[in-house]
Amino acid sequence: MSRKSVLLSEGLSKEAKSELKKFGANAIVCRKLEAIIAACSYGITEVAKVFNVTHMTLRSWIRHFGISKFVLKKEE
């Protein structure tokens, strides 16, 4: 089994699930959030294969999600 990325955490998974509920039917955003949630359980490389993206693309989605959540929290 591959090692878990430092980008992934249980909190990140919970936040992504919460955001997924908000977006509803927006397919592109939902796909990215589902990939982030799956990566928390199965690892970046495996999930990237299933979603047919490179591991770098998935890491980018994770990074951008983490940054956007941080910025939103700062503005509140």
**Could you list the pLDDT tens digit for every one of the 76 residues in the chain?**
566 676 777 777 777 777 777 766 567 777 888 898 898 889 899 999 999 999 999 999 988 887 666 444 444 4
Answer yes or no: is 60 within a domain.
Answer: yes
CA 51 – CA 68 distance, rounded (Å): 22
CA 48 – CA 67 distance, rounded (Å): 20
Domain count, the chain: 1
Cα-based torsion angle of the residue sequence 6, 30, 21, 40 in order, rounded to the nearest 10 degrees: -20
Answer yes or no: is 2 within a domain.
Answer: no
Cβ–Cβ under 8 Å, residues 37 and 16: yes
Domain residues for 44? 10-75
Answer yes or no: is 5 within a domain.
Answer: no
Answer yes or no: is 4 within a domain.
Answer: no
Answer yes or no: is 38 within a domain.
Answer: yes
Q: What is the pLDDT of residue 29?
A: 77
Q: What is the pLDDT of residue 24?
A: 66
User: The whole model's pTM is what?
Assistant: 0.61
3 state DSSP class of 30: helix
Answer yes or no: is 1 within a domain.
Answer: no
Q: Which amino acid, 57?
A: T
